[in-house]
């Protein structure tokens, strides 16, 4: 096992996409992986692949939006082996032919998974980490959280909340020995991006994204944003005058 590898890692949304890629990236002899997802067959395939690489891996079919169930599961995982790294990765996107008609329903569903799901993952892990005076938390936000995009209001809002909360949490927990990083990917191969029918500049394979994330976590980077051309473009869009930003974003394709 590499010297930069935590000994016990919990990853939500590990049955596909970036979550799956992270599980496989870290999997090695001597490592304990606690993985969750909502599709039992896909999750078991990831667990088996991690075991084939020598890791001790278990999977739990669970919805991160279920607060009490998540608290029980995270507590059980930490009791089996103290968690060194928790990656709150699970997320969904809304894809509706009529986003305005479905706005409230989609918003609540996406926020329940992408935002509440992060809270439900992090809070149960924080207590034991604070008692030990060590640990690392990684929150999966997105470059989509840098500004609101027409046609993706729910997704952008959920990721913006995660981004800002994670940045604040990093400062609040630094003196307690707990490291917090916010991950802001661009377009990465996943079940979410597979729904997109429009061009996705600088599209990245999930395994490459996982390597970037792992390096960033090892270096304790507060913000892990990639790929850099997309991250730069997102940052520039934030500082544009409102009228110009609106003119540009109104021309973007809808999900």
Pick the CATH number of 8-249 from 3.40.50.720, 2.40.30.10, 3.50.50.60, 3.40.50.2000: 3.40.50.720
Note the pLDDT of residue 194: 59
- What mean pLDDT value characterizes the chain? 89
pLDDT over 90, % of the chain: 68
* Mean pLDDT (whole number) for 54-76: 98
Q: Is-contact 111 34, C-beta < 8 A?
A: no
pLDDT in tens, 113-143: 999 999 999 999 999 999 999 999 999 999 9
* Structure tokens, 44: 């078991």
* Cα 9 to chain centroid, rounded: 14
Q: pTM above the 0.85 mark?
A: yes
Segments making up each domain of the chain, as ranges: 8-249
Parallel, antiparallel or unpaired: strands 135-140 and 85-88: parallel
**Catalytic-residue membership of 218:** no
pLDDT in tens, 205-249: 999 999 999 999 999 999 999 998 888 888 877 787 777 666 666
pLDDT in tens, 50-62: 999 999 999 999 9
**DSSP 8-class letter at 198:** S
* Structure tokens, 211: 């390597």
Q: Is the peptide bond before 227 cis (omega within 30 degrees of 0)?
A: yes
Secondary structure (H, E, C), 169-215? HHHHHHHHCEEEEEEEECCECCCCHHHCCCCCCCCECHHHHHHHHHH
* Structure tokens, 153: 């209001």
């Amino acid at each position: 096992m590499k010297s930069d590898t935590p000994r016990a890692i919990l990853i939500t949304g590990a049955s596909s996409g970036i979550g799956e890629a992270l599980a496989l990236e870290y999997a090695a002899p001597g490592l304990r992986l606690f993985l969750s997802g909502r599709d039992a067959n896909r999750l078991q395939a990831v667990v088996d692949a991690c075991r084939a690489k020598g890791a001790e891996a278990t999977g739990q079919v669970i919805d991160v939006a279920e607060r009490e169930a998540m608290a029980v599961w995270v507590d059980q995982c930490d009791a089996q082996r103290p968690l060194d790294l928790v990656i709150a990765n699970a997320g969904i996107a809304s894809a509706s032919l009529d986003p305005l008609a479905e706005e409230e329903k989609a918003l609540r569903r996406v926020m329940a998974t992408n935002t509440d799901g992060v809270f439900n993952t992090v809070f149960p892990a924080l207590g034991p980490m604070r008692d030990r005076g060590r640990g690392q938390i990684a929150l999966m936000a997105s470059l989509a959280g840098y500004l609101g995009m027409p046609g993706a209001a729910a997704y952008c809002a959920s990721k913006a909340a995660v981004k800002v909360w994670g940045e604040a949490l990093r400062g609040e927990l630094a003196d307690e020995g707990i490291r917090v990083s916010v991950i802001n990917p661009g377009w990465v191969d996943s079940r979410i991006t597979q729904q997109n029918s429009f061009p996705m500049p600088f599209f990245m394979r999930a395994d490459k994204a996982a390597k970037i994330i792992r390096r960033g976590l090892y270096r304790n980077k507060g913000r892990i944003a990639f790929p850099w051309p997309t991250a730069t473009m997102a940052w520039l869009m934030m500082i544009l005058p409102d009228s110009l930003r609106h003119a540009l974003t109104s021309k973007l394709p809808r999900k």
